[in-house]
Amino acid sequence: MKRWIKTIGITIFIMLLLTACTKEAAVDKQPDLEKPDLTSGFSAGTKDEFTTIAENDRLLLSANLLNGEIFVRDKKNGKVWYSNPVDKEKDMLASGYNKVALFSQVLLTYSTNTGVTMNVGSFMGSVAKKGLTYRIDNESIIFKYEFVKEELVVPVRYSITNEEFVAEILTAGVQELGTNQITVIDLLPFFGAGSTEEEGYHLVPDGSGALIYFNNGKTSAKEYEMKLYGYDYGVNDRLLDSTTALTASFTLSENAYLPVFGEKCNEDGFIAILTDGAARASIKARTSGKYTNYNNVWSTYNYRTVATVRLMQKEMEEKSVSIAEKEPDIRSNYKILYRFLEKGKADYSDMAKAYRDYLIDTEGLTAKTKEGDIPFYLDLYGYIRKKKSFFGIPKDTLIVTTSISDSMNLVDQLSDAGVNHIILKYNYWMKDGYYGKIPVEAKTERKLGGNKEMLELQKKLESMGGSLYLSTDLINIYKTGKGVSKYNDVLNSVANTPQMQYKFEMDSARRDTQYQPWYLLKPSRLPEYYNKFTDNFWKNGFHNVAFDTIGTMAYSDLSSSGMSRSEFPALVNGILGDALEHVDNIMLTGANGYGAVKAAHILNAPMKCSNYDVEDSSVPFFQLVFHGYAYYSLSATNLSSNPEDLALKCLEYGASPMYSWVGRGSEELIGSRTDYLFSSDYTKWMEFAAKEYTKVNEVLKNTATLQITSHRILEEGVTETVYGDSFKVIVNYNNTDVTIKGQQIRAKDYLVIP
């Protein structure tokens, strides 16, 4: 009887949650798209042949009206890109669902009314059941896939511009006619797929970028799959994604910072840019030999987010319940632009140029670098708080680790060593700025020296050719107050309860119980608090701001008054744009593409990929896109296990050195929330830092305003980076000397060819 009563209670609770989800559609911040007319003008194809849909000077789009296949001919070089392999019938490896996928342009993952997850491809679910119809509109074609048995309808539109092939899911036209609910839509999973007879690779946006070579023989490796813009902390707490063992999502994964993927096939290639709906997308890639005999890369769209909440049962045990969005996000179509590259100019460097050109043309990317010395990034930490014992009584204590006076001293020492272009990022400088309340007043903590002294530090740095960036994080809320309410301002779960955030133990992935959970500011409240902060920041006389977290975090708000994750990029872009009305420049710590376009400085730019088994090479695609437009660092040299190699990586990636230091009391960091700053005593690093900067700056001061036009892996452990037209830097990471083009490069050294 008790178990029966408990089951009824849980069922009622879930029904309440679903009711809350239903209300969400009525209070969306942005209107949904107008539903397209999918009732008139549609016909069924009768001939198994291709018909020209649109044509311009560069591209020709053709479609098979009977089965939904399309191809795009690049008239400039004669390459034809097919939605499905032309000889797919000969693939003897593919079977079952993978065989169906080879013939499909759309794959669906859906949930039945009993909670069972199912998959269906458009070929068997729609085409074979006479469910495919089409309509040609204004030199574009809409295919309407009716999945007859599943009672689902998905419309897809194809078109071309002067430079691009455009594929998009018309989200407002998706229909669920029965009880099945769509969760994920894969679009064009085999577009341009390479065969076992072709050479090439896929570019995926894993960290700095990664290549997956065609036919690499890694048939035991999992397929590549990564959510764009990182983990969604609004869906659940990360503990629900883990087991008792450490998972890759905690320590091994980089973020996918840029909404792109690409392919080089023989001498041709393309870069695919996800423009609309990217924050709800994932990138997938496979090599031949495991599922099919093709190498393919594509994207998937999270049509309906599934959230997980914790229910407390009568015995005080927690039960996890997964709940899908009742109303899916239809605020924008899911849109992909495919830009085709010139024959013979189709490697990942060329893909980066094509994407950079797109950012310049459409996203407002402008150059913020100047000729001359590169920055020396000085990452300082003003104070910490931790429990200290007084007469046996633990007390929360503020401990100064780098006062403003200490900062002045550090700057003077660096200047004496020949380092003058100092970009100082000052962390934990505000009152309540250390894991506390949202510090919108932008006032300096008095124990560090006060606002007057901070302005003197700012003036000093600027007189030397450097600048001061004062940091803040207005997303993570560790304590409510100062107008921030736990009931009105923090991110809520799908159950309309605060979505708690936790710190986890790195060795076990379990929740670290010594740290209290905290909250995130709900997306709809971000503009208000960022505007308050930047207004006060400017009134206090400060020139440059460093925003933490906002550059790397995109999250859903699935509460009844929530905001979709798809709106987050535009929201952040607007916040940064508004901030630039009050400050000179913005620094971001890490940066998803939508934030990076606004930043003058990017700290902790990605320097590698996740090194998944299926991946073959890590490449600096991120740096290829942004070099010459923003300054950036990699990780802090003093926190690296191999500082010498990090200097070489700066030369290869065009990055500036960074050091994370404290001016005193480094031993106090132990046992604090900032104990990750091991080896942060500046006195042990000053001489090394000055020498490293001098060496790196001597090379890179010639390249600050130049684009990286080419990057190549010459051989194992040897890379070549070309800045501008001809300035080359060849780096040898090996422990032995190498000879490249007749010139010897010593072990752990580099060669500059002006």
- Residue 417 predicted with pLDDT over 90: yes
How is residue 223 annotated by DSSP?
A: P
Q: 292 with 267, same domain?
A: yes
Please give the backbone phi and psi of residue 640, each rounded to the nearest 5 degrees, phi first: -90, 145
- Which pLDDT value is given to residue 364? 94
Q: Could you tell me if residue 542 is left (phi over 0), alpha (psi between -120 and 50 degrees) or otherwise beta?
A: beta
> What one-character DSSP code corresponds to residue 633?
B
Are 735 and 650 members of one domain? Answer: no
Whether residue 462 has pLDDT greater than 70: yes
pLDDT for res 510: 72
Report residue 497 CA to chain centroid gap.
27
Bigger pLDDT: 238 vs 458: 458
d(CA 280, CA 232) in angstroms, rounded, equals: 9
State mean pLDDT over 499-524: 81
Bridge partners for 544 per DSSP: 469, 585
The 3-class secondary structure across 370-422, one letter per residue, is: CCCCCCEEEEEECEEEEEEEECCEEEEEEEECCCHHHHHHHHHHHHHCCCCCE
- Alpha-carbon 48 to chain mean position: 41
Structure token pair of residue 336: 């992909």
Helix (H) or strand (E) holding 692: helix 686-700
- Mean of the pLDDT values across residues 192-212? 97
Residues 36, 185: one domain? yes
In the structure, what pLDDT confidence band is assigned to residue 544 with cuts at 50, 70 and 90? very high
Mean pLDDT over 253-257 rounds to 93
Q: Would you say 85 and 193 are in contact if contact means Cβ atoms under 8 Å apart? A: yes
Contacts for 580-584: CB closer than 8 Å, 24+ residues apart:
582/534, 582/535, 582/537, 582/538, 583/534, 583/537, 583/538, 583/542, 583/543, 583/544, 583/545, 584/543, 584/544
* pLDDT above 90 (res 453): yes
Three-state secondary structure string covering 304-317: CCEEEEEEECCCCC
Q: Residue 482 — very low, low, confident or very high, per pLDDT cuts 50/70/90?
A: confident
Q: Count the Cβ atoms, other than its own, within 10 Å of residue 103.
A: 21
Q: Is the pLDDT of residue 28 over 60?
A: no
- Torsion angle in degrees (nearest 10) through CA of 47, 48, 53, 58: -150
For 598, the domain range is: 376-473+524-704
CB under 8 Å to 26, separation ≥6 — which residues?
A: none
Asked if residues 198 and 214 have their Cβ atoms less than 8 Å apart, the reply is yes
**Do the domain assignments include residue 495?**
no
Q: Apex CA 252: angle with CA 250 and CA 255, to 5°? A: 85
Domain match, 184 and 307 both: yes
555 and 238 in contact (C-beta within 8 Å)? no
**Inter-CA distances, 357 with 352, 586, 624, 625, Å:** 9, 22, 12, 9
Is 675 in the same domain as 753?
A: no
The pLDDT of residue 358 is above 60: yes
* Residue 683 DSSP SS3: helix
| pLDDT confidence bin for 649, thresholds 50/70/90 | very high
33 exposure class (CB count in 10 Å sphere: 0-12, 13-18, 19+) = middle
Place of tokens 């998706």: 174
320 found inside a domain: yes
CB 282 within 8 A of CB 300: yes
pTM, two decimal places: 0.93
For 84, 344, 707, the CA distances from 195, given in Å and listed in that order, are 11, 19, 34
The domain boundary, picked from 362, 392, 423, lies at: 362
Calculated CA dihedral for residues 262, 655, 585, 452, nearest 10 degrees? 150
The shares of helix, strand and coil residues in the chain, as percent rounded to the nearest 5, are 25, 30, 45
648: enclosing H helix or E strand: helix 643-653
- CA 729 to CA 706: how far, in whole Å? 13
Q: What is the pLDDT of residue 327?
A: 78
Position 325 in a domain: yes
| Contact call for residues 530 and 475 (beta carbons, < 8 A) | no
Residues 467 and 543 sit within 8 Å (Cβ to Cβ) = yes
Asked if residue 555 lies in contact with residue 563, where contact means CB atoms within 8 angstroms, the answer is no
Within 474-632, residue ranges assigned H as helices are 526-539, 568-579, 593-596, 621-626
Output the six-digit token pair for 345: 């100019």
- For residue 486, is it within any domain? no
CB 399 within 8 A of CB 665: yes
The CA distance from 598 to 630, in Å, is: 9
24 compared with 393, residue with greater pLDDT = 393
- Cβ–Cβ < 8 Å for 592, 606: no
CA atoms of 644 and 87, how far apart (whole Å): 51
Domain contains 39? yes
Q: Is 121 in a helix, a strand, or coil? A: strand
Q: Is residue 52 part of a domain?
A: yes
Beta-carbon contacts of residue 100 (< 8 Å; ≥ 6 apart)? 121, 123, 124
* CA distance linking residue 204 with residue 284, whole number of Å: 8
pLDDT of residue 237: 63
The residue that leads in pLDDT, 588 or 394, is 588
Mean of pLDDT values over 727-742 = 96
Look up the CATH number of the domain holding residue 99. Answer: 2.70.98
How confident is the model over 476-482, as a mean pLDDT? 87
Q: Where are the alpha helices (DSSP H) in 216-342?
A: 248-251
Alpha helix segments (H runs only) across 275-345: none
Question: What percent of the chain lies above the pLDDT cut of 70?
Answer: 91
Predicted confidence at residue 357, as pLDDT, reads 98
Is-contact 256 297, C-beta < 8 A?
A: no
Closest CA relative to residue 104, chosen from 292, 306, 259, 335: 292
Same domain, 305 and 206: yes
Residue type, 102: L
Are both 94 and 197 inside the same structural domain? yes
Query: What's the DSSP call for residue 363?
Result: S
Residue 24 has pLDDT above 50, yes or no: no
Residue type, 265: C
User: Are 417 and 349 found together in one domain?
Assistant: no
Rg (CA), the chain: 27
pLDDT of the residue at 239: 61
CA distances from residue 12 to 5, 533, 692 in whole angstroms, order as listed:
11, 43, 64
CA neighbor of 700 nearest in space, from 727, 720, 726, 731: 727
Per-residue pLDDT band at 539 (split at 50, 70, 90): very high
305 located within any domain:
yes
Residue 3 has pLDDT above 60, yes or no: no
| Distance between CA atoms of residues 491 and 549, nearest Å | 15
Q: Is residue 10 predicted with pLDDT exceeding 50?
A: no
Residue 582 lies in a domain: yes
Give the model confidence (pLDDT) of 666-702 as tens digits: 999 998 999 999 999 999 999 999 999 999 999 999 9
Same domain, 352 and 438: no
Task: Give SS3 for 349.
Answer: helix
- The stretch 511-519 carries a mean pLDDT of 83
Residue 156 has pLDDT above 60, yes or no: yes
Mean per-residue pLDDT over the chain, rounded = 91
Distance of alpha carbon 270 from alpha carbon 77, whole angstroms: 13
- Residue 549's nearest CA partner among 513, 512, 575 is 575
Domain count, the chain: 3
Task: Tell me the C-alpha distance between 492 and 524, whole Å.
Answer: 12
Q: Given a cut of 80, is residue 31 above it in pLDDT?
A: no
648 and 746 inside one domain: no
* Sign of the four-CA dihedral 401, 407, 409, 410: positive
Residues 548, 438 contacting (CB under 8 angstroms): no
What's the pLDDT at 5? 41
Given a cut of 50, is residue 58 above it in pLDDT?
yes
Higher-confidence position of 634 and 40: 634
Q: pLDDT for 61-101, tens place per residue?
A: 999 999 999 999 999 999 999 999 999 999 999 999 999 99
Helix (H, G, I), strand (E, B) or coil at 573: helix
- One domain for residues 206 and 328: yes
Supply the pLDDT for residue 240.
57
Residues 427, 341 within the same domain: no
What would you measure as the largest C-alpha separation in the chain, in angstroms? 89
Parallel/antiparallel/unpaired status of strands 718-723 and 727-732: antiparallel
Residue 12 has pLDDT above 70, yes or no: no
* % of the chain exceeding 90 in pLDDT: 78
Read off the pLDDT of residues 563-597 as tens digits, 9 standing for 90 and up. Answer: 889 999 999 999 999 999 999 999 999 999 999 99
CATH number at residue 418: 3.20.20.80
Distance CA 176, CA 474 (A): 39
Other CB atoms within a 10 A radius of the CB of residue 569 amount to: 20
Residue 674's SS3 state is coil
